[in-house]
Amino acid sequence: MIDIHCHLLPAVDDGPETVEQAVEMAKRAVSEGVTAIVVTPHAFHPQFDTSQLDVSNAVTRLQNVLRQEGINLDLYTGQEIRIFGDLVESLEQGKALSLAGSRYVLVEFPSDSVPAYAEQLFFGLQTEGYTPVIAHPERNKEFATNPKRLMDFISSGALSQITTSSLTGEFGQNVKELAFAFLRNGLSHLIASDAHSTGRRTFYWTEVEKVVREELGQDKWENYVVNAEAIMKDEFVFIDPPTLPTKNWRGKWKK
């Protein structure tokens, strides 16, 4: 299992505070079947100033610690990038990083909205050969009330990534149901932990594999595993045509 979204670097953002905590996170990941992690500290986020962070150097240092500890986990560089107007230029200049040096760029929206310029920005990214990956759309209020907004992004070539803790109900039942609705309808194509610690914001891979197999089937689970591998290898991610989720008469997302 490859985890393409994880806050593993110590003392950087809202992830682990110490190297020891980062090592414990790595041990937890391995115990749940993770073999590689794309390390994605926050970037261009108003709450976390990581502008002076050398991600490559920090990841190399942590990788060396894990090797010394005998932890068999491969680390790759990335960022969770809060959407901003100069993203394309920052990628070209190396100030912003794609996932594991691939064409795929992990983009985060504010939790309560989708900026009006997002479509134009995504078009610019795709024109330059990048593929936007929308982080945790199930936790975005605008997508929750208007899933067609997400469908328009996906129909135009973007991907999106659901968080494991959403699928286990850590963010509440409504978020869980929306996450599964996005997966069922081809609006989300990747699952990642977005882990920050060994506490509540942890990996949940063991539980998620079980619940996804039960809800969506073995083939779907294997697709998400393959898709994560494709991201890391910079290969094409094949997706089904997206459909718009609908609700039943009780206001629940249809299965």
Instruction: Tell me the per-residue pLDDT of 202-219, one tens digit each, with 9 for 90 and over.
Output: 999 999 999 999 999 999
On whether residue 194 sits in a domain, the answer given is yes
Average pLDDT, the chain: 94
Give the distance from CA 144 to its chain's centroid.
Answer: 17
On whether residue 91 sits in a domain, the answer given is yes
Mean pLDDT value across residues 134-148:
96
Quickly state the pLDDT bin for 183 (edges 50, 70, 90): very high
On whether residue 244 sits in a domain, the answer given is no
CA distance 85 to 239: 28
Instruction: Tell me the per-residue pLDDT of 8-39, one tens digit each, with 9 for 90 and over.
Output: 999 888 889 999 999 999 999 999 999 999 99
SS3 77: strand
On whether residue 110 sits in a domain, the answer given is yes
Percent of the chain with pLDDT over 70: 100
CA distance 2 to 154: 22
Quickly state the pLDDT bin for 251 (edges 50, 70, 90): confident
Give Cβ neighbours of residue 240 (< 8 Å, ≥ 6 apart).
186
On whether residue 61 sits in a domain, the answer given is yes
pLDDT reading at 249 higher than 80: no
- List the structure tokens of 78: 């990335």
Q: Please give the single-letter amino acid code of residue 177.
A: E
CA distance 229 to 39: 15
Which of 119-128, 157-166, 235-244 is predicted with the least confidence, judged by mean pLDDT?
Answer: 235-244
Per-residue model confidence (pLDDT) at position 25: 95
Q: Where are the beta strands (DSSP E) in 14-137?
A: 36-39, 42-43, 74-77, 80-82, 104-108, 131-135
pLDDT reading at 250 higher than 90: no
Per-residue model confidence (pLDDT) at position 103: 97
On whether residue 47 sits in a domain, the answer given is yes
Per-residue model confidence (pLDDT) at position 253: 80
Higher pLDDT, 192 or 12: 192
Per-residue model confidence (pLDDT) at position 248: 84
Q: Per the structure, how many domains does the chain have?
A: 1
Per-residue model confidence (pLDDT) at position 159: 98
Give the structural domain span for 187: 2-233
Q: Is the pTM of this model over 0.85?
A: yes
On whether residue 255 sits in a domain, the answer given is no
21, 10 in Cβ contact below 8 A? yes
Per-residue model confidence (pLDDT) at position 247: 82
CATH number at residue 154: 3.20.20.140
On whether residue 99 sits in a domain, the answer given is yes
Per-residue model confidence (pLDDT) at position 236: 94
pLDDT reading at 86 higher than 90: yes
Quickly state the pLDDT bin for 85 (edges 50, 70, 90): very high
Per-residue model confidence (pLDDT) at position 246: 83
pLDDT reading at 235 higher than 90: yes
pLDDT reading at 134 higher than 80: yes
